[in-house]
Structure 1
Amino acid sequence: MTLKAVIDSQSELPLLSVQDLKIRIQMDNGEMRAVDGVDFDIKKGKTLGLVGESGCGKSLTSRAIISINPKECETSGKIVYHSTSEKELHELNLLSLDTKGKQIRSIRGRKIAMIFQEPMTAFSPMYTIGNQIMESILIHRTKDKKEAKKIALEMLSKVGISDEVKRFDQYPHEFSGGMRQRAMISMALSCNPELLIADEPTTALDVTIQAQVMELMKGLQKEFGMAILLVTHDLGIIAEMCDEVAVMYLGKIVEQSTVGEIFKNPKHPYTKGLLNSMPKLAGNRNKRLESIEGTVPMPIDMPPMCGFYDRCKDRIEGVCNKQAVPKTRISDNHMVRCFLYTKEGEERTYV
């Protein structure tokens, strides 16, 4: 069977499938369930948004994909990656690989690349930007330094950095925030990855530069045909960039669907709260934006209950605080984790 036939026969498979991902951290006062049973698929060439407040487990989830979480993190579950070689399609559980082994290192940076939240700390201040971009190319693409430099210069130019020959020999502190982010994108894309993980890629940037970076990522995704996992707390970026969205709270996916469905027909009270906190062009200027009272609790030795219970205006006493919340399938492509949509919750609500 030819490679094309193999790919066609597996066309329904996601590029990456995260299954029952759990991350535990042992603290002095108990066990922290930082990520607690997360499931999602990333389709080839598509963008999945992972959204939620700080402390929900988004970054730990994304970093677990390429096995770069701190050693204190005890990780279980499956992260299944469908990789296409020259002759066949491989199915790999990335969590089963040695975190420092040759196999995961051949995937990390080459097949799956990552844009980190703060490029100033992601780049080493001791080496030039060009040297650091070249390092990845020399590891994964070619051993020829002249060819590696040529690729690096092409990528710097492609992401919109002018006078790339001069910039190649400059250090990170000589770049502005927007330029550092562009350089980080060029380094991530220098090996033509199948999946790009973007962890809060616009947090440290002003609004104008944010828009430029988003447009850049969309253009490069179209050119290279890669999938993107976009980690953010900004629903405006989610609406602009993503095909699907997973709303994360306290280590769990509480709602997941297409972007259009989430924005038009949100189900979970947390999702509704996030959407209501956004300013609207057609809204009443004199009306204050809604806010979600309270903060994300620490998930240490929590009893089986809804993690959003203390902050939820629609909570059901005697239900939401007494048992773990099951997943409910609203439609084929819409999942929510809330008792309001279970039989028991409906009985308590309407009786």
Structure 2
Amino acid sequence: MTTQAIRTEQPLLSVKDLKIRIQMDNGEMKAVDGVDFEIKKGKTLGLVGESGCGKSLTSRALLGINPKECETSGAVLYRSATDQPSEQLNLLSLDPNGKQIRSIRGRKISMIFQEPMTAFSPMYTIGNQIMEAILIHRTKNKKEAKRIALDMLGKVGISDQEKRFDQYPHEFSGGMRQRAMISMALSCNPELLIADEPTTALDVTIQAQVLELMRSLQADFGMAILLVTHDLGIIAQMCDEVAVMYLGKIVEQAPVKELFYNPKHPYTKGLLRSMPRLGGNKSKRLESIEGSVPMPINMPPMCGFYDRCKDRIEGVCNVRDVPKTQISEDHSVRCFLYSDPHGGESQ
């Protein structure tokens, strides 16, 4: 495939102006506020930010599995390679309990949940739960479904698959449960894998094994990955492109190397400065971003990072919403340091 063909290739998934509102007793919470991004076939997009910035709600909205109180608008345009590649299907327009979206969940778009102990049912064996997805989406033959499930357990590095197949989630260690969750997510060869904090609560050694496993399986299956995390080290290791999220908005988006070596938004710079570095001065304390993420309830038009930003401009950043500015073809940022108060790019 030529470079020009790669550039013009249509994205597998396009998220446009995604908004999630939750009605609270004291007002309306803008949990996700106008998120836009694209995921290309075979590539990994990292969605990074502090806890509470809307990452998990965004990822779950793609499959329509957020709680009922979440009012979702915008568009999630899915272009399956196995159907008509020229056609786009808006997943948000589908009935969240309907047959069409259920034929996509698990089959074409799968998800690794943040905590596999709560994602697996304690009442059924691991093998039974992996087989369930296979029986729904791939084959009605139980022997064939068991063979596929055992094969997937082996691919994720779980030994003695026959014995493990009949065990319950509580009999697995944290790392093994995470591997079993990955095997279930990949059992139907999805085109897109959503990984929501896939290494949370795992020790460093198991974390490295899980990430290496995801890279290996991505190469085998050719799938795209949306990786949701707050760990920039994982982002650097796994992703092709990165979207930094803060208070329900994507404040900066760029290829991973560009973001690490040429960050623009003060929040992105703060996150990078707070990372420990090999060979750094051990006696020097890591920098931190002062303050905390505010609750996005009844917020006036302003930059959400204003109260925590050392570079804020009084009378500008706190009086209107920040427009998106294109720094380059594939690098965008929401910050008045790179645009004038009227939305034009600064020179």
Aligned to 2:287: 290
The equivalent position to 2:165 in structure 1, one of 162, 165, 168, is: 168
Q: CA deviation at 1:63?
A: 0.1
Paired residues of 1:52 and 1:232 also in contact (CA < 8 A): yes
Aligned to 2:43: 46
Question: Are 2:252 and 1:255 aligned?
Answer: yes
Q: CA deviation at 1:190?
A: 0.1
The equivalent position to 2:149 in structure 1, one of 148, 152, 163, is: 152
Q: Structure 2 matches for 1:107-122, cutoff 5 A? A: 107-122=104-119
Q: CA deviation at 1:282?
A: 3.0
Aligned to 2:88: 91
Structure 2 stretches lacking a partner, 5+ long: none
Please state whether the residue corresponding to 1:84 is helix, strand or coil: coil
Paired residues of 1:339 and 1:345 also in contact (CA < 8 A): no
Paired residues of 1:84 and 1:90 also in contact (CA < 8 A): no
The equivalent position to 2:261 in structure 1, one of 260, 264, 270, is: 264
Q: Structure 2 matches for 1:16-55, cutoff 5 A? A: 16-55=13-52
Please state whether the residue corresponding to 1:49 is helix, strand or coil: strand
One-letter identity of the residue aligned with 2:209: Q
One-letter identity of the residue aligned with 1:261: E
Question: Are 2:200 and 1:200 aligned?
Answer: no
TM-score after normalising by structure 2: 0.96
Q: CA deviation at 1:343?
A: 2.9
Paired residues of 1:138 and 1:145 also in contact (CA < 8 A): yes
One-letter identity of the residue aligned with 1:225: G
User: What count of residue pairs does the alignment treat as equivalent?
Assistant: 342
Q: Which moved more, 1:26-35 or 1:9-18?
A: 9-18
Aligned to 1:223: 220
The equivalent position to 2:139 in structure 1, one of 142, 145, 169, is: 142
User: What is the aligned-residue identity percentage?
Assistant: 81
Separation in structure 1 between the aligned mates of residue 157 and residue 218 of structure 2, nearest angstrom: 15
The equivalent position to 1:332 in structure 2, one of 329, 341, 346, is: 329
Paired residues of 2:79 and 2:85 also in contact (CA < 8 A): no
Q: CA deviation at 1:209?
A: 0.4
Aligned to 1:191: 188
TM-score after normalising by structure 1: 0.95
Separation in structure 2 between the aligned mates of residue 89 and residue 174 of structure 1, nearest angstrom: 46
Structure 1 stretches lacking a partner, 5+ long: 1-7
Separation in structure 2 between the aligned mates of residue 270 and residue 9 of structure 1, nearest angstrom: 31
Separation in structure 2 between the aligned mates of residue 37 and residue 53 of structure 1, nearest angstrom: 18
Aligned to 2:315: 318
Question: Are 2:60 and 1:57 aligned?
Answer: no
Paired residues of 2:323 and 2:343 also in contact (CA < 8 A): no
| Inter-CA distance 301–346: structure 2 relative to 1 (3 Å threshold) | closer
